[in-house]
Amino acid sequence: MLLSPTRRVAALLSCAGLAALLAGCGSSSNSKDDDNATASPASGSAVPVVASTNVYGDIVERIGGDRVSVTSIISDPDQDPHSYEANTRNQLALSKAKVVVENGGGYDDFIDRMLKSNGSSAELINAVKVSGRTAPEGGELNEHVWYDFPGVARIADRIAAALGKADPDDAATFTKNAETFKDKLTSLRSKEADIKKEHSGEAIGITEPVPLYLTEASGLVNKTPEDFSEAIEEGDDVSAKVLQETLALYSDKRVKALVYNEQTSGPQTEKVENAAKKAGIPVVPVTETLPEGKDYLGWMTDNVDALASALDK
């Protein structure tokens, strides 16, 4: 689902400010002056890569190993990615990158704007495009493709190819690492299939479309009014009528679980969470960036296992 302009990431960078930065700033993006961006240890011969979020940054590191130096622009688990404001340090990292990974689909448009402003020649990987996901007929795109494991497998292959182009001597290693990563994705798909076998057709609720690729692959049916989840994602208020319709899903026990985006919670989503808990309906928290101390595969394993556990209760 495309984000509204008010929630899209802002990148307010002036040419004069960038010129001053490039002339006088030589520190890396994991400086104390920038609490959001993180970088893996740099190496003079490592391929410099910038990822819009630490989700893609971690996937690059799984594939590139010590042959890449990765800067993840959004890495704070308490940060709402939709409201992130890019800065000149991010621009500097992008100006040095040979490979850039963005989500696309309107999620992180600041990447395109900054690349255009500095005339970057980096190879750009747009995860939404690579995943093959498109908007359904008459609907809007769900851009949260990192919850789509077949799409992530295609993204992994694309990352390996881009790294191999930047560092031909290690291309075979990147390809091998991508295959290992995809093998582990296969086990996640098996977990989804197990959920589908046991719970196909069962109803769930959500607060935002973030987990829908995961829940749909698991055979679950989202019963949340679209007007509710769309308003929450766009940062708009939910009408009283729609809110009551949503709360009734839980008070009437018409869903078996609530999958809750805890990274963008607010008064209206908290009402839904409280209604679920009051009704004894399990709440499965999800996020849009990696929780602290987690890698992508461990994080997604936790998500799938938590969903299965909630449905089994």
> 187, 214, 232: which is the final residue of a domain?
187
Q: Please indicate, yes or no, whether residues 299 and 180 belong to a single structural domain of this protein.
A: no
CA-wise closest residue to 146 among 104, 111, 175, 179: 104
Would you say residue 218 lies in a domain?
yes
Judgement on whether residues 168 and 33 belong to the same structural domain of the protein: yes
295 with 194, same domain? yes
Residue-wise pLDDT tens digits, 230-279: 999 988 999 999 999 999 999 999 999 999 999 888 999 999 999 999 99
Average pLDDT, the chain: 87
Q: Is the pLDDT of residue 128 over 90?
A: yes
Residue 153 has pLDDT above 70, yes or no: yes
Is the per-residue pLDDT at 2 higher than 60? no
- CA–CA dist 256, 282 (Å, integer): 7
Residues 149 and 33 in one domain: yes
Among 129, 162, 187, the domain-final residue is 187
Residue 6, in any domain of the structure: no
Length of the chain: 313
Residues 213 and 143 in one domain: no
Mean pLDDT of 192-196: 98
In a shared domain, residues 163 and 226: no
The answer on pLDDT for 103 being more than 80 is yes
pLDDT digits (tens, 9 = 90+) for 46-84: 999 999 999 999 999 999 999 999 999 998 877 666 677
Are residues 52 and 183 both part of a single domain? yes
Q: Which pLDDT score is estimated for 76?
A: 80
Using 50, 70 and 90 to split pLDDT, how confident is the model at 10? Answer: very low
| Pair (131, 202) in one structural domain | no
Decide if 8 is inside a domain.
no
One domain for residues 82 and 158? yes
Q: Decide if 127 is inside a domain.
A: yes
Q: Are 248 and 231 members of one domain?
A: yes
Domain boundary among 168, 187, 206: 187
Residues 6 or more apart whose CB falls under 8 angstroms from that of 115 comprise 94, 100, 122, 124
Amino acid, single-letter form, for residue 192: E
* pLDDT of amino acid 80: 66
Give the C-alpha distances (Å, rounded to integers) separating 131 from 128, 151, 181, 194, 216: 5, 4, 16, 23, 16
pLDDT at 30 over 80: no
In the chain, the percentage of residues whose pLDDT exceeds 90 is 74
Question: How many separate domains does the chain show?
Answer: 2
Q: Are residues 57 and 105 in the same domain?
A: yes
Work out whether the CA dihedral 304, 306, 309, 311 comes out positive or negative: negative
pLDDT higher than threshold 70 for residue 312: yes
Sequence-distant (6+) residues with CB within 8 A of 240 are none
Beta strands in the chain (DSSP E): 38-39, 47-53, 68-74, 99-102, 123-126, 203-206, 221-222, 258-261, 283-286
Backbone angles phi, psi at 40, to 5 degrees: -75, 160
- Are 24 and 167 in a shared domain? yes
Whichever domain contains 295, its CATH number is 3.40.50.1980
Domain that holds residue 59: 15-187
